[in-house]
Amino acid sequence: MGGEESRPAPTPSPRWTPPPPRTPSPPPPKKEFDKEWRETLWSKEERDHMVDELRSFKLSDPDVGQLRCLLYGPVGAGKSSFINSVNNVFQNRITGGALVAAASGLSFTTTYDTHYIQGRSGEKRLPFAFNDVMGLETQNNGLHPNDIINALKGHLPEGYEFNPFHPLSDQKKEFIQNPSLSDKTHCLVSIVSADKISRMSEDVIAKMKNIRAEASRLKIPQVVVMTMPDKACELVNKDVKRIFYSKAIKEKMQICSNELGLPMNCILPVKNYHEEGRMDNDMDILILNAMTQIMNFANDYLWNLQQHANQK
């Protein structure tokens, strides 16, 4: 008993099965569009042409003197830097007319001053000017929105010192009771930073919307200048000319449009002069594109006022 015939049959070894082929990982999404979604001419000839056009810009109402552009926005968004950058373009050198805070988070602007843009040596100043105001902050800090509304209507005097808790009232002697058209704002320019637009506080956004609503009631045209695109997109940081290929920049502009309620064609990205020690043609092009649109909108506003005045 128990011979070889009764031994259990050996268990066959399992057949080796090759693993299924690995599915290749999808390529990372492209950071650029295949073509510019906002066509732009980048040549030096185009830069010089826009400079000449703005130097010789004809106002709808010559008695106004300068088109007045009011710049406002969160602390550190680059309001004063934008004024300096525009002046750089027309002086073709680095300038420093509007004082800029070295550290972000603090508003360097404390008074209401008009910044004129110099013409060429011996020429009169250019037909547009800027008013920079104290930055907006959360809750009751920073600029009081009523002072921006006073500025829109032309009630703020030159050199007025901002007080976050007490906006200028019509009972104060410095309040301009009967402002001329030259005193009033002809275009409201919101300045926001591309790298911070998605993190702006609800308080600041609410203040900006209220100011926009008052400007709309007064029929004052509005644009957004979106600064610091190089901090929001590595492609732009390497090459400014990639700005309108960048998906990240278009996304930031869409967020800006949604938050502030302006159409995309009124959102103008620029790279301010900040660290640069010499002029840059591509940065100039963005600044000049923004200024051309601002000037046209402001001039249209004057023209519309004239048409309504002629009908009375």
Per-residue pLDDT tens digits for 202-218: 999 999 999 999 999 99
Geometric angle at alpha carbon 58, from 53 and 60, rounded to 5°? 140
For residue 67, give the nearest of 188, 171, 246 by alpha carbon: 188
Over the Cα atoms of the chain, what is R_g? Answer: 28
What is the pLDDT at residue 308?
A: 78
pLDDT at residue 204, as a whole number: 92
- Residue 240: CA atoms inside 13 Å, Cβ hemisphere, count? 18
The token pair at 23 is 């599915």
Q: How many CB atoms lie within 10 A of CB 264?
A: 13
Q: pLDDT tens, 244-293?
A: 999 999 999 999 999 999 999 999 999 999 888 899 999 999 999 999 99
Question: Within the chain, which residues score under 50 in pLDDT?
Answer: 102-104
pLDDT at 206: 93
Query: 44-53 — which CB contacts under 8 Å span 24+ positions?
Result: 44/281, 46/285, 47/281, 47/284, 47/285, 47/288, 50/285, 50/288, 50/289, 50/291, 50/292, 51/89, 51/90, 51/288, 53/292
249 Cα distance to chain centroid: 12
| Segment holding 227, helix H or strand E | strand 222-227
Specify the pLDDT at position 88: 93
Per-residue confidence (pLDDT) for residue 179, from 0 to 100? 96
Question: What pLDDT sits at residue 41?
Answer: 96
This prediction's pTM: 0.87
Query: To the nearest 10°, the Cα dihedral for 254, 260, 265, 270?
Result: -80
Q: pLDDT at position 298, please? A: 97
Cα–Cα nearest to 107, from 80, 76, 144: 76
pLDDT at 233: 96
Residue for token pair 């373009």: 89
